[in-house]
Amino acid sequence: MDVSIREKKQSEQIVTLIVSGEVDAFTAPQLREKLMPLCQKMREVHLNLSQVDYMDSTALGVLIGAYKQLRSRKGRLVLTGMTPRLKRLFRITGLTEVIDIEEDGA
């Protein structure tokens, strides 16, 4: 029951975070700490979620916060590697309509 986050800089303005494990109320603060500073300085933040086994509403809240931060600076949050489970979670909460989701290989 842990989360690990790996950072991969794509260019001066684009960064990818590869998240793996379980993101819940206990581990979401780790994601927030890593994600928010990047959302304050990068133009694009990509989150690869293909290795996320579990995500709850606290984790979704962190993503919404990141999305709002980037959007307010005309930046972009992109999610990749969405498992069927995560897609379902995003559909139910209405986030599919809001946050950019890229299919694999796109």
Partner 1 sequence: MDQTKDIVLTIPAEAQYVGVVRLTVSGIANRLGFHYDDIEDIKLAVAEACTNAVDHAYKELECQGRVMVTFRIFGDRLEIRVKDEGNSFDIETVKKKSGPIESHLPFTTMRERGLGLHLMETLMDHVDIQVGKGVVVTLTKFIQRDEVDRDVNPPAKTESHG
Q: Which of residues 6-25 bind partner 1 (CB under 8 A)?
A: 22, 24-25
Cβ–Cβ under 8 Å, residues 18 and 6: yes
Q: For residues 12-39, b (16+ Cβ closer than 10 Å) or e, as one string?
A: eebbbbbbbbbbeeebbebbbebbeebb
- Binding residue for partner 1 (CB under 8 A) from 16, 30, 51, 58? 58
Work out whether 89 is an interface residue with partner 1 (CB under 8 A): yes
Q: Compute how many residues bind partner 1; rule: CB under 8 A.
A: 26
Interface contacts to partner 1, rule CB under 8 A: 1, 22, 24-26, 54, 56-58, 60-62, 64-65, 67-68, 71-72, 85, 89, 92-95, 97-98
